[in-house]
Structure formats: structure tokens, C-alpha cells
Amino acid sequence: MDLCSRSWRWVVPEAEGKQAPPPRLSRVNGWSRPLHSFQVVAWATLFIVAVANFGIFIPFLPRSWKYIAYGVTGGLFSFHFLVHLIAVSIDPAEANVRLKKNYLEPMPTFDRSKHAHVIQKQYCHLCEVTVSSKAKHCSACNKCVSGFDHHCKWLNNCVGSRNYWYFFFSVASASAVLLCLIVTLLYIFIQFFIDPAELRTHPYYKKVSNKNTWLLFLPLFPVKTKTPVVLGIGVFVLLLDVISLLLLGHLLLFHLYLSMCPEAEDCSTGPC
């Protein structure tokens, strides 16, 4: 499919058949209700990755690698957390919408008997304001978005010109964090089968005589557990990381392709 040959649409495409009634109020950003289930999954995955990375697996690394891993993944994670919050929190609406629209007022119902399109001659009949040539009216957020790219369910927010690069770097940094954790996990699995003693270098292990006992959440809150539990957690987190990286990697490559496409500005919305 030629992504660059798609024509620009003035409104978000509507599904065929019966339509659910549009939301009565416009959404401000990704924190506006209703929250999307994908957004909850994204934050849950972020929490699991952070706990597993910093609390369980990095402490298994050798001393020299451990500090490098803390620094690299810690920096990437902090950067991702920041740009993710900004991408969710920004109102991507058109300037005239942000200035003149009252988000607390109910939206009018679009009457196709009066107008063929929501936006005509750069005037939105729903937002009732003049918009730029590259604005689209998002049916999910019920407002015109500046430089509309797509509505992202994972952010629960539209991605437009005001927050596109925050979204892009959020995806890129998340992919980098997941890649770092996958490398860490693979090293731990390989080392476990070659020489498990190399994973037990922390001073707290001097008090642990049973080689089937492992310590999690070092060094602040050491919790004793057995080998099957550690391996089970490792396999679960590895599968979660791989699946997440495949999804994010596909999205990242798609937007990298669009950025290199000569007619990228004429492309329609991408996957998210």
C-alpha cells in the first residue's frame, strides 16, 4: 500500500453502518474522561517494566555493568516518562479552538442535510471557528486538531503539530528502554545456565547459603524467593517486552518512513 498516495481527508473517516452517538463534550487532552483501556494498559506496562528493570534484574548484573545499566536505562526511562506526560497533557487543538471554544458547552449535532463536510472552506461547522488548512476534526475528541496526524488510543489524545514530536520521542525512548531490558534479561538467562554465581555478587548473598534462594529488590528491600519464581518473572517480563517492542518498533518505523516520504504531509493517519 502506497502510504504517500492517500488523499487528505477533512474529517476522521467514519465506520460503515450504525454509528455510536458522538460525545456531547469536547475532550481537552489525554486526561479527559473517558479514559481509554489502552491508556491503562500503557501505564501498567510502564510500571511493570520499571519495577522489573530497576528492582529485580539490574541488581543481578556485575558491579561495573550495574552502574552503566542504571545510568543508561534510568536516563532513557526518565526522558520517556517526561515526553509521554507532555504528549498526553498537551491540548493539540487548533489555536482558534483553544481561544474561543468553551469545552464545558455541549457540542452541536452535525447536520449533513445542511453541510457536506464538517470543515468547509477552512471553517468548522461543529467548532464554529476558522481553522488552518491542515486541521481535521477528530470524532473521538470532538474538536479540530492542528496538523492532525492521528488519534492515539495509547495516549488517549490526538497527535497533531503541537505534540507530534513529544509523541515521536515517547515511542522512540520506550523502544530503547525495552531493548535495554531485553538485552539485560538475555544476559541473565544465559549467565544463569552457564554460571549462576556471577549473578549473586551482591554482599547480601554472603548471608544466603541456599543456592536456590534469590534476593529481589536489592539493595533497599531485599526479598527472598526461589529459583522458579525468578525464572517465571523473567520469562513473563521478557515476553511482555518483546511484544511491546514489536508494536512500538512497527509504529516507530512507520513514522520514520513518513518523515522520509516526500509527500508525508499528504499521508492519512497512521497506526496507533
**Tens-level pLDDT at each residue, the chain (272 residues):** 444 433 333 444 443 444 545 446 889 999 998 889 999 999 999 999 999 999 999 999 998 899 999 999 999 999 999 999 999 999 999 999 999 888 888 877 777 778 778 888 899 988 889 999 889 999 889 999 999 999 999 999 999 999 999 999 999 999 999 999 999 999 999 999 999 999 998 888 988 888 899 999 998 889 999 999 999 999 999 999 999 999 999 999 998 888 887 455 555 455 56
28, 90 in Cβ contact below 8 A? no
| Ramachandran category for residue 128: left, alpha or beta (phi over 0 → left; psi -120 to 50 → alpha) | left
pLDDT at 258: 82
C-beta pairs of 27-31 under 8 Å, 24+ apart in sequence: 27/103, 27/140, 27/141, 27/142, 27/143, 27/157, 28/91, 28/103, 29/88, 29/89, 29/90, 29/91, 29/92, 29/157, 30/87, 30/88, 30/89, 30/155, 30/156, 30/157, 31/88, 31/89, 31/156
Residue 133 CA to residue 191 CA, distance in Å, equals: 57
* Nearest residue to 27 (alpha-carbon basis) of 153, 155, 140: 140
Check residue 63 and give its pLDDT.
86
Rounded Cα distance, 207 and 21, in Å: 64
This prediction has a pTM of: 0.83
Cα 136 from Cα 122, distance rounded (Å): 10
Task: List Cβ neighbours of 172 (8 Å cut-off, separation of 6 or more).
Answer: 252
- The predicted pLDDT at position 8 comes to 36
Domain boundaries, the chain: 28-92+149-202+209-260
Sign of CA dihedral 115, 264, 267, 141: negative
Report pLDDT for 102. 81
Phi, psi (deg, nearest 5) at residue 74 = -65, -45
Query: Who's near 246: CB < 8 A, 6+ residues apart?
Result: none
Residues whose CB is less than 8 angstroms from the CB of residue 152 and which lie 6 or more positions away in sequence, other chains included: 158, 159, 167, 272
- Please tell me whether residue 247 adopts helix, strand or coil conformation: helix
**Count of C-beta atoms within a 10 Å radius of residue 153:** 15
pLDDT of residue 1: 41
Contact partners, residue 10, CB within 8 Å, separation at least 6: 117, 118, 119, 120, 136, 137
Question: Which entry of 152, 158, 180, 267 is annotated as an active-site residue?
Answer: 152
Residue 152 annotated among the catalytic residues of the structure: yes
